[in-house]
Structure 1
Amino acid sequence: MTDYYNANAAAYFEATVDVEMGPLRARFLAHIREGGRILDAGCGSGRDSRAFLKAGYRVTAFDAAEPMAELASEHIGQPVEIMRFQDVAWAERFDGIWACASLLHVPRPELPDVFQRLTRALKPGGVLYTSFKYGNEDRKEGRRHFTDLDEAGLAALLEQVPGLQGLEQWISGDRRAGRAHERWLNALLRKG
């Protein structure tokens, strides 16, 4: 998976860094205390980390692809860690976790463990935002793996993650130019 982003980091950065995600971030931030700690998990270009920092939140960001992490670090003006979801080991550190269009690259059998790791990283009452391409397939596009989720798939996943409950979910179009026909499942989940 990281091979694709290692080879295409600059192009991916340019294609995503200016995408307007304000409405999605606002839904997430409504649940995060002012100045709280946010983990941008699979931060890509760092677009959302930068917005969170500008809004006064304390942000930790990581990405699995080293060239992407370097570009994001330059963009946000602070280090971006190089790590995979499967290596997350924080405990009760974050008020919120933002996993925008990133967990969809985790193979379906590994999602329960990854969600448990992210849940452990949240403080009690903390909120996780995640988004998946809408559907129920596991598929390959070139060198990238995609795990698509619909409402039933998300419900089945949450049954395997004790302590994480759904707050709300909704379907949206892709926010990138010319891709509004692509559908996404968005979810806000709270640690009990």
Structure 2
Amino acid sequence: MSDKTTLDVYAAKAADYATMTDHEDPQLTDFIATLGTGRVLDLGCGPGRAAGRMAQAGFDVVAMDAVPEMVAMAAQHPGVTAQLGTFDDISSQFDGIWANFSLLHAPRADMPRHLAALKAALRVGGLFHIGMKLGTGSARDSIGRLYTYYSEDELAGLLTSAGFTIDARVFGRDKGLDGTYANWLCLRAHG
């Protein structure tokens, strides 16, 4: 993700975002239980809450984010290796990849390439989680972040085309950092 305005918003609101995301996540609990052990990438890790929880569960965790303020927060979690990087900087192999509401900031044209790179970075049979806001088109929210929205069918088709096998879908609706509610979809897949 290289949209400077989006990155600047997250840098300025890092503490607010950390507070907003500090809660139990049933999808993360499921991801940890399903994967069991191994090396995990938290892609677009934000303040590192999920990465910290995975490290506590015994995983070898790499937390990556394009915002230095977020990387610094993620690095404070014991057992987490936090690094600055974008969706184009994935080069290692992982047993699991947690991409929870991060790839929604990638331009639509880049999504097939990003998913192919993630599939290549996932060991055979590895676990992939993606969370995205539902909708159509692309737009900036009221605080300036750029979003790309997908329908369920479009997102599932992109994962299938990249070689993933989807085995779970969870829908929800929550209030975001901009104060508005949005519908979302989380998909769990194997590589």
TM-score band by shorter chain is: 0.7 to 0.9
Count of equivalent residues: 184
- Matched-pair contact (CA < 8 Å) for 2:134–2:184: yes
Moved over 2 A (4+): 75-79, 173-177, 179-182
The residue that corresponds to 2:15 in the other structure is: 10
Aligned mates of 2:45, 2:137 — CA distance in 1: 24
Structure 1 unaligned residues grouped into runs of 5+? none
- Matched-pair contact (CA < 8 Å) for 2:137–2:150: yes
Structure 2 unaligned residues grouped into runs of 5+? 1-5
Alignment-mate amino acid for residue 86 of structure 1: D
The residue that corresponds to 1:29 in the other structure is: 32
Aligned mates of 1:135, 1:166 — CA distance in 2: 20
Query: What does residue range 40-79 of structure 1 map to in structure 2 within 5 Å?
Result: 40-76=42-78, 78-79=80-81
CA displacement at 1:2 relative to structure 2? 1.4
Secondary structure of 1:127's match? strand
CA displacement at 1:25 relative to structure 2? 1.2
Distance of aligned partners of 1:155 and 1:79 in 2 relative to their CA distance in 1, 3 Å threshold: closer
CA-to-aligned-CA distance 1:105-163 (integer Å, 9 cap, x gap)? 111110111111111111000011011012223111133111112212113323541x2
Secondary structure of 1:43's match? coil
- Matched-pair contact (CA < 8 Å) for 1:19–1:175: no
Distance of aligned partners of 1:78 and 1:30 in 2 relative to their CA distance in 1, 3 Å threshold: closer
The residue that corresponds to 2:157 in the other structure is: 156
Aligned mates of 1:79, 1:32 — CA distance in 2: 19
The residue that corresponds to 1:171 in the other structure is: 171
- Matched-pair contact (CA < 8 Å) for 1:37–1:94: yes
Aligned mates of 1:28, 1:180 — CA distance in 2: 27
Aligned mates of 1:113, 1:29 — CA distance in 2: 26
Alignment-mate amino acid for residue 87 of structure 2: F
Alignment-mate amino acid for residue 19 of structure 1: H
TM-score, normalisation: structure 2: 0.87
- Matched-pair contact (CA < 8 Å) for 1:45–1:75: no
Matched, 1:20 2:21: no
Aligned mates of 1:72, 1:159 — CA distance in 2: 31
The RMSD of aligned alpha carbons is 2.2
The residue that corresponds to 1:104 in the other structure is: 104
CA displacement at 1:13 relative to structure 2? 1.9
TM-score, normalisation: structure 1: 0.86
